[in-house]
Amino acid sequence: MKISAYIMTYNEADKIADAINSVLWADEIIVADSSSTDGTIEIAESLGAKVVQIPFKTFGQIRNDAIAACTHDWIFSLDADERCTAESHAEMMKTLENPQADVYYVPRRNWFLGRWVNHSGWYPDYRQPQLFKKGALTFDAMEEVHEAHVIHGKVEFLKEDIIQIPFKDIAQMVHKMQRYSTLGAKKVVRQQKGGGIIKGLLHGFWGFFRLYVLKLGILDGRAGFIIALGNFEGTFYRYAKAAEIDHSWNTQPPKR
């Protein structure tokens, strides 16, 4: 059973080598890049990966194009900040000896601010299917961020974790929050949900409460608080930026 692994990248020079090294067992490694300029492409090619350039429009579109670039019947998707573990690899290989499903979810364990995150809605993090038969999973190409997917076939859940190191520091987390809140604002506008400062505050406070209290983020210490606070900020700015787009606020003051 041959497997293609694909990794999406944009300026991931500090992460891509570890990601690729964790899937060197794959029969094919596709790096779906969107015009990186920091050496990501050169590092990927030096490790034997095939780099395919895909202009960024939406995350859903990139995933569909990355899947199309894979040539084998089974596909394993990995983000640049993820690492496939030996245990997860072994479970996948055993599973594919006699697959009982077309699509498999793989749990993720996150390492953030010097500790494992065991709550906060981050574990077990079955974000989206990551092992699947080609043709059994497609993504909504209109989805700017947090892309929706459609499953064609039977689903099962694996047990062995892969590892995600989502941010090397808080600054990188804030940078990603800014990018994702901008993409999320476009999604809010496209779906005509309406932005607004009050709506952003209400959704933001609910997001903080859900992660920190209901999802027991308080038990994750400093990491849990920062995750919940980051969720509040990202949610608030998503709706605030949507309002900015909707109202086209003038960037220049009127002449007196």
CB 73 within 8 A of CB 133: yes
Q: What is the mean pLDDT of residues 223-242?
A: 97
Look at 32 and 142; give whichever has higher pLDDT.
32
- What are the pLDDT digits (tens) for 150-190? 999 999 999 999 999 999 899 999 999 999 999 999 999 99
pLDDT for residue 247: 86
Q: In what order do the strands lie in the sheet with 3-9?
A: 50-53, 28-33, 3-9, 74-79, 129-133, 103-105, 155-157
Task: Give dist(CA 74, CA 103) in Å, integer.
Answer: 10
Q: In 3-state terms, what secondary structure has residue 124?
A: coil
Tell me the helices (H) and strands (E) count for the chain, helix number first: 7, 13
CATH classification code of 3-164: 3.90.550.10
Q: In 3-state terms, what secondary structure has residue 202?
A: helix
